[in-house]
Structure 1
């Protein structure tokens, strides 16, 4: 008899409350943006383009502001870029860690490059290292590439957007241990960025084992 069953189980076709909800895979693509989301992202991009235009001129005036709006609109209309939407969460503590670590690496790398430059008769060897990232979103790819390129001695030569791979040129490579250390440093930068601005799902992806990451195309 079904009269004694709870209301949620009275119907044969209704799902039970004890059935766990399906969760999307870690590398599932983000949901498609609606028209409002695209307009918001375009408005933010236009604002940044106007700010860059004003900084280039060094003068905040109505004429420069109007010219920046016109040129920024033309860039967005005639040279559209793939939409990159921020779906993460800002964490002030992790942001401070990211900023402090970046400053420390900037000073350390600058001193190292300066020592290599003034060392008489020494010819440093360079290498190109392929580093697969664990979070393959466009935003994480761009932020990690920017932070790595700002540190002296490392430069992003190319990116594989489909596979989430950064190709990094490293200065002063003396052995295999330097290559391993360079990969670990790129992944450490990615970890700090994701912990600072990533979503909870992206933070969980940082703990995936290499085999698990290969199983998520």
Structure 2
């Protein structure tokens, strides 16, 4: 599915890299490097989708998104290097359809764009920020987790870990990195606490917690949330 895409990123090298991948995927792609140009170009050329960096001179991405959402139904995928929950939620509350946290793989960006365009072509409402990884759905706005469409209950610590991993499927997180996401919830957390959270999450999201297929251990490093079933029996 091809579309007209506007990329707004103040880093010319990064923007050019995105442009090349989108062109290779068949999209007609325009690039601007500041918020005012993004707003003017979106109004003039009416692209189907805007890839919008948060940190830009003049008008930042939040201001651009807020203004455009009052004027049009253009699809907006926000890019943020901040990665804090408050920034991500603000973008979604302003009307962004999806977001990616830097660094991200170009293939994931293309896949996210394809998903947004497919929803729009079917007339389906976007589910802002909902991550669907295999059988698992994670909604950072509603703080909900589903497995095969059925809602499950998670503690705040479990949700913080799962939401962080769902944002970057197949990325390996160390225990120390996952600990960072739970610090504001339980200051007494330790790396052992992460192991307990993972063990409890497996009981809730895996068909067989002893042979997990998605929430996997990477020996000597940490854990990852796999986007597909494990090719071999995974270690608990």
TM-score by length of 2: 0.28
Larger RCO: Structure 1 or Structure 2 (Cα < 8 Å, ≥ 6 residues apart)?
Answer: 1
The two structures have a TM-score, normalised by structure 1, of 0.30
Q: Which has the higher helix share?
A: 1
- Larger strand percent: 2
Structure with the greater alpha carbon radius of gyration: 1
